[in-house]
Amino acid sequence: MNKVDVKLWKIPIPEKPPECRFDWTKERPERVERCKYFGNLKAVVIDKGICSHCGTCYICPVRGIVVEDKPIDFPNWRKDCIDCGACIRVCPRYDYTPLNGLGEYIEAVAGKSKRFKGQDGAMVSEFMAGALEMGIIDVALFVARDEEFKPYVVHITDPDQLKDERITGTKYSFASVMPELHDSIKHVRAVGIIGTPCMISGLRKLQKVVPLYKQKVKLAIGLFCTENFYHWQLKEFLEGRGIDLRKAVKTDIKKGNFIVTYDTGEEFSIPVKEMEEIVPDGCKVCQDFSAVEADASVGSVGSKKGFSSVLIRSETAKEIFEYLKEKDYIEVGEVKIDVIKRLCDYKVKIHPYPKG
Amino acid sequence: MVRIKVEKPKVHKSVALHIKAITTAFKEAISPGTITIHYPRERRKLPDNFRGLLQLDKEKCINCFRCAHICPANAIQMYQRENKYYPGIDYTKCILCHFCVDSCPTAALKPSKIHDVAFASLSTMVLPPEELAGEPEMWREDTVTVEYDFDGDLKMIKRKEVENLIVEVEKPKRPEFVAGAAFPENCIACRICVNSCPQNAITFKLQDLQTMVLEIDFEKCTGCMVCIRNCPTQTLLPFRREEVLKGGESDEQG
Amino acid sequence: MVDVSGIVSGIVEKIFAALTANMVNIPILEPLINKLLQIPLVNLVVAFILWKPAFVILFVPGLLAVTVVLLIMIWWERKLTARIQWRVGPKEVSRRTGGIIQTLADGMRYMFQEVIIHRDAHKLYFLQLPILSFIPVLLPILLIPAGTIYAIRSPYAIQIAVALTALLPIFILGIGWSANNRFAFIGTVREAFLYVAYEIPLMIAVLSMVLLYKSGDPFVIVEKQWIPGIFMNPIAFIAFLIGMVMAAGRLPFDISEADQEIAFGPFVEYSGIIFGLVMGIAYEKLYLLSLIAAILFFGGWSGPEIAFLGELSYAIWLFLKAFVLMGFIVMVRAIYGRYRLDQALKFGWSSLLTFSLIGFFISAGWVIWLG
């Protein structure tokens, strides 16, 4: 049941009209290379192999930048790029200083949802459902999977939609959350997104550059992340090991092993070290394990089985967490913060920047 | 089953009713109170804002696409003619709601009183802008214009005159809008508004290599909202023209 | 050698003499007829046409009059009904005359339309019966004289004419049976029900008038009407009028046809010119009964003689009286709605029968009083 918000159709008219003539000035970024701005992005980020495939550059007003299951590209950019520089202004890796560690947080707890069934404690679903119920957001962008375990973005407007297990659960492949956000930003009032640490960094930079996103993206939940894969590479790799993703109902990384669970209950386990060859280059320079800039970071590390660790970093997330506790939607548990800290340090160790 | 009982009238009463019916028939046969309009030769006078066929003034059209966007039946298609786009109407779909007339910022689409139309085939019902621009081919048989007088008894007033079906209707007063940069901080300097403006009301110039200045000329802006629709980051929003030109505060939202 | 030509010419001369002895006298056409009678062979044709029995069949009150009635009465009915109901009626065919040739145009259309005989019909009867139904229409015409123009004179003429017209529903039943269609069946059954309900009061009304005049001979009847029969026995007239409306299947009682309910009933399967024929049956019957009513109640052909028309003026008076009566009956269509079958049956068997019997007793009273 999608409720149509009447407010969405209003043409907002600002209260104070400015001077008789609108004119506004805009700073443009400096060029590194003597070509169009996408050329700069390509030279500085993509060709150097530090692109994290977060998709923030999809802001491109001519929608020329292709964010698909392959490295970021702008086919025919020499002709079609309109040279506005938006992509390099929002790219989190263009001017890259790696973030690492646990970051600032208000509270570290473990939680388990009583309503939803997710990867571990289903705390991401619970946070978004709480935000929807509290009215903080109208829409939450979730990543669902199709038959081949390929991720696609869905708009959640009602917590009941989250009962579908295809929507909850981790997919371990790049999803087009940011492109979907760019496409729908003009049509929503308040939106919540879920993303890997690189997406959260991209979002924060975007919010600095374009205040519209600060106004509309009310909740950003980060996921604990060591690495992410291109879907086709992951699929081919697993097929090489005799694992069919079409039969899988769950993927997980636990204690250095990539675990695929079939619908029959069968489990396959591959050491993550063997998957080194398919880890994208962009992930190899990322040191941010715990989504430092998110409103709340969620992951399985550091809590008991069936629980999710939650690092609450902002007041909004704190409010939602209190609301969830008050409504008795979740079970609160203990979190071992030193385990998370150890994994953060481990990620810094295996992903040095600058390389070599 | 419910049986409805009808009271049987007395004999003299029923005879009186029969006689009354027959006398009424004779009276009507001699002088009937008919209000029929003999249509092709007489025509009812239509109000000036009658929603008939549409006409296009190509000179005034600024190809802003608003008619095509607002059309609820999706009947308006834009045709490219000499680097400009003009609306063409598919009368198989058109519901004659005249939203397009209301939405047209320059009154290029005009209403007419022509409502009795015949097309040779379905394909001829799709009118490109050229056919929409000229006057349609008309055969007028009517010499009398009829008007009903609703005060008291229903009466017909017949006049020996031919009504002009193509009317020049003054545009009704409604708030005019102009586009304004409501949130200049959102701008990503993509200049799509500059390129899309049909009136070339938005201009940009480079102050130095790193700074760009964009400017909207309210005199040129027709409020067609093409730039507002195209802006990827909601920098531009519509403002009421009089409010903007006065510089005062607008209290109404719309 | 036998003089063949002499014998033939002798026979022809005898026939010619027989024909000319009994010819219609029309003073205004006298010079033309005289001239035509000089021409050999043509004079035979002219003499035959003007021979009174042939004239009755061909012109008044025969085929030509029936055609005129069909053409004008249908138009008149539509126009008058429309006028009463605040409509316009047919007008686009010859607009200046108010669409008077509309029926002719319709007839032309019937003429060139394909005649469809559907698979389930009894082909022979389906085609024959509409044509055969002209027998009970045209035979009574021989018995109805228009003044001095008459074919057969008999003291039982009125009774025979009414009896012959009463045969017409038999043909309608046959048409409905041969059409083999559910609507046709329903219409036929309705007609069969109604038949007895209206025919008995109608007959009694006619017989009461015959009793009043003490003869069924139209000449005697017309002679005896020192005031029109309608004033002598109005009750019998009302019974006859209503019975006539029912017999002709006009609107308050067009239960067997009822085009809104059962799509023209017995005639639902007809098309083309045959439909034109069957559609005319009701009007023809109406015409015949109007002629009889004019003789019985309106003094027949009595009226001021128009000198230049000679004998034809009587025929025209009779025709006009019948025409006015028909004009009134078709107007009833605009006044009343259609009765249900049970209502019509109840009405026919109770009120109408009572009316006709009262009329009969009134006639008997007149006969006793006058002696």
Give the one of B21, B32, B35 whose C-beta lies nearest to C335's C-beta.
B21
pLDDT value for A10: 40
- CB-based contacts of C338, cutoff 8 Å, min separation 6: C251, C252, C253, C254, C255, C258
| pLDDT for res A16 | 52
- B182 interface with A at CB cutoff 8 Å: yes
What domains, with CATH codes, occur in chain B? 47-136 (3.30.70.3270), 177-246 (3.30.70.20)
Cβ-defined contact of B25 to C331 (cutoff 8 Å): yes
Q: Could you say which of C83, C88, C336 has the minimum Cβ distance to residue B28?
A: C83
CB B120 within 8 A of CB B142: no
Give the sign of the dihedral formed by CA B32, CA B38, CA B42, CA B43: positive
Q: Nearest by CB to A14, from B185, B215, B237: name it.
A: B237
Nearest by CB to residue B190, choosing from A13, A15, A84, is A84
Where b means 16+ CB within 10 Å and e means fewer, B12-27 reads eeeeeeeeeeeeebee
Structural tokens at position A240: 């090489």
Which residue of B lies nearest to A89 if distances are taken between CA atoms?
B188
Residue A239 CB-half CA count within 13 A: 9
Give the Å distances, CA to CA, from A3 to A6, A7, A156, A185, C223.
9, 11, 11, 18, 94
For residues A117, A120, A124, A129, the Cα torsion angle rounded to the nearest 10 degrees is 20
* Residue ranges of chain B with per-residue pLDDT less than 50: 248-254
**Closest among B177, B222, B215, B180 to B198, alpha carbons compared:** B222
In sequence order, the 6+-apart residues with CB closer than 8 A to the CB of C244 are C202, C286, C289, C290, C293, C329
Q: Where are the alpha helices (DSSP H) in chain A?
A: 37-41, 77-80, 86-90, 123-134, 177-184, 197-209, 211-216, 231-240, 281-284, 315-327, 337-350
Separation between Cα atoms, residue A172 and residue A177, nearest integer Å: 14
Cis bond leading into A280, ω under 30°?
A: no
Can you count the helices (H) and strands (E) in chain A? 11, 14
Mean pLDDT by 10 residues, chain A (356 residues): 41 49 72 81 84 86 84 84 83 82 84 82 85 88 84 86 80 85 86 89 88 87 86 85 82 81 83 82 83 86 84 88 87 85 84 70
CATH number of this structure's domain A37-90: 3.30.70
Q: Which residues of C touch B33 (CB under 8 A)?
A: 86
Instruction: Give CA–CA dist B249/C142, Å, rounded.
Output: 101
B165 to chain C nearest CA, in Å?
25
CA-CA distance, A159 to A126, in Å (whole number)? 9
Residue A13 pLDDT? 47
Q: Take residue C282 and report the two structure tokens written for it.
A: 């009701």
Q: What is the pLDDT of residue B250?
A: 43
Name residue A42's beta-bridge partners. Answer: none
Say if the Cβ atoms of B29 and C88 lie within 8 Å: no
* Residue burial C297-332, b: 16+ Cβ < 10 Å; e: rest: bbbbbbbeeeeebbbbbbbbbbbebbbebbeebbbb
How close B169 comes to chain A (CA, Å)? Answer: 28
Classify A107-230+280-350 by CATH class: alpha beta
- Asked if chain A contacts chain C via 3 or more Cβ pairs within 8 Å, the reply is no
Q: What is the DSSP string of A304-324?
A: -TT-EEEEE-SHHHHHHHHHH
Q: Which chains neighbour B (Cβ–Cβ under 8 Å, 3 or more pairs)?
A: A, C
Cis check for the bond before A354: say yes or no (omega within 30 of 0).
yes
Contact C313, C320 (CB under 8 A): no
Structure tokens at C328: 């009134």
pLDDT at position A265, please? 80
Neighboring chain C residues of B29 at a CB cutoff of 8 Å: 80, 83-84, 331
Interface B-C: count of C-beta contacts within 8 A: 29
Q: In a mutagenesis test of the B interface, which of C76, C77, C84, C328 is the best target, namely the one with the most B β-carbons within 10 Å?
A: C84
Secondary structure of residue C304 in the 3-state scheme: coil
Asked whether A74 and A66 are in contact (CB, 8 A), the reply is yes
Which residues in C have their CB inside 8 Å of a CB on B?
80, 83-88, 331, 334-336
Same fold, A37-90 and A107-230+280-350: no
Residues of chain B neighbouring A86 (CB-CB closer than 8 A)? 188-190
Cα(B213)–Cα(C28) distance, integer angstroms: 108
Instruction: With a cut of 50, list the residues of chain C below it in pLDDT.
Output: none
Lookup: tokens for A303: 């809590």
Residue A22 DSSP one-character state = E
DSSP E strands in chain A: the ranges are 22-27, 66-68, 70-73, 107-113, 139-145, 151-156, 191-195, 217-223, 248-254, 257-262, 267-271, 296-299, 308-312, 330-333
- The confidence score (pLDDT) of residue B249 equals 45
Q: Which residue intervals of A81-227 are DSSP H helices?
A: 86-90, 123-134, 177-184, 197-209, 211-216
- Do B234 and A186 count as a contact with CB atoms less than 8 A apart? yes
Q: Where are the domains of chain A?
A: 37-90, 107-230+280-350
Q: A120 near A307, Cβ under 8 Å? A: yes
Task: Please provide the size of chain B in residues.
Answer: 254
The CA-atom distances, in angstroms, between C20 and each of A173, C46, C51, C52, C149 are: 119, 9, 7, 10, 14
Nearest to A11 by CA among B187, B222, B234: B234
Do the Cβ atoms of C88 and B34 come within 8 Å?
Answer: yes
Mutate to test the interface with C, among B17, B28, B141 (most CBs of C within 10 A): B28
Helices (H), C214-271: 218-224, 229-232, 234-248, 259-262
Confidence check on the interface: ipTM exceeds 0.90, yes or no: no
Give dist(CA A46, CA A91) in Å, integer.
Answer: 11
pLDDT tens digits, B153-178: 778 888 888 877 777 766 666 667 78
Q: A6 in contact with B at a CB cutoff of 8 Å?
A: no
Burial class for A76, CB neighbours closer than 10 Å (0-12, 13-18, 19+): exposed
Closest CA to A91 of A67, A126, A122, A125: A67
Please give, rounded to a whole number of angstroms, the shortest distance from the CA of B27 to a CA of chain C. 8
* Partners of residue A18 in chain B, C-beta under 8 Å: 180-181
Query: Which of A 154-193 lie inside 8 A of B, CB atoms?
Result: 182, 185-186
- Chain B residues with CB under 8 Å of C335 CB are 21-22, 24-25
Cα separation, C266 vs C184, in Å, equals 4
Of B21, B25, B36, the CB nearest to C87: B36
Contact between chains at C86 and B22 (C-beta distance less than 8 A): no
Amino acid identity of residue B144, one-letter, is V
Chain B: give the shortest CA distance to residue A297, in Å: 28
Cα separation, B199 vs B105, in Å, equals: 12
Which of B34, B37, B154 has the highest number of chain C CBs within 10 A, making it the mutation to test binding with C? B34
